[in-house]
Amino acid sequence: MVCAVLEMSNDLTIQTTWGSISIKTEQGKVLSCTLPRLDTDPDIPFSVTQYESDEISGFVEAALTGKTNPVPTLELIQGSDFQRRVWDAISEIPVGETCTYHQLAENIGQPSAVRAVSNACGKNPALLFIPCHRIKRSDGGLGGFSAGLAWKRLLLAAEHS
DNA sequence: TGCATATGAGCAT
DNA sequence: ATGCTCATATGCA
């Protein structure tokens, strides 16, 4: 018989037409979430083709398709104090709203550390759960996204409605 | 050390 | 408009 503690550590996978999303969890909390890197926009339309009916997978499916759902709790992984402050600040951005790298820097009390803030955004270990897709440049540009801008556009479009 | 980052403001061409 | 320079955190050569 498998030890119950071992079963609490788990890898979830969600299949989409743009590739599979993988989530690491432990005791029901999210450790990380990675999306397949898309260097160019896919030709095919996006859709979710398979996901499990647990809370975490359900959240991801909802985030990708524009439904609202409470964010499951994160178990924040390793990162410097600075990175955690940035990621916490990102998590406070409400659904459907955006802010700039500059505003984020101000929110953590280091208005001149904008460059470092954007760098921390790029290290986001839990895409979708830490909504770094809601951050844009102050000149209106999209900024970047570690898994590819196609994802960022998809997510912003999904929650704009 | 030096360099590159998902930035941005200021200042000189 | 275009191109520096500086500010900050972090990792890599």
Q: What are the tens digits of pLDDT across the range A129-156?
A: 999 999 999 999 999 999 999 999 999 9
Q: Which nucleotide is nearest to A83 (CA to C1')?
A: C9
Q: Which of A33, A99, A121, A132 is catalytic?
A: A132
pLDDT number for residue A122: 98
**Low-confidence spans in chain A with pLDDT less than 50:** none
Q: Which nucleotide is nearest to A146 (CA to C1')?
A: B6
Question: Are the CB atoms for A10 and A4 separated by under 8 Å?
Answer: no
pLDDT number for residue A68: 82
Q: Estimate in Å the CA A66 to C1' B8 gap, whole number.
A: 31
Rounded-to-integer distance, Cα A98 and Cα A132, Å: 9
pLDDT number for residue A2: 52
Query: Is A132 known to be catalytic?
Result: yes
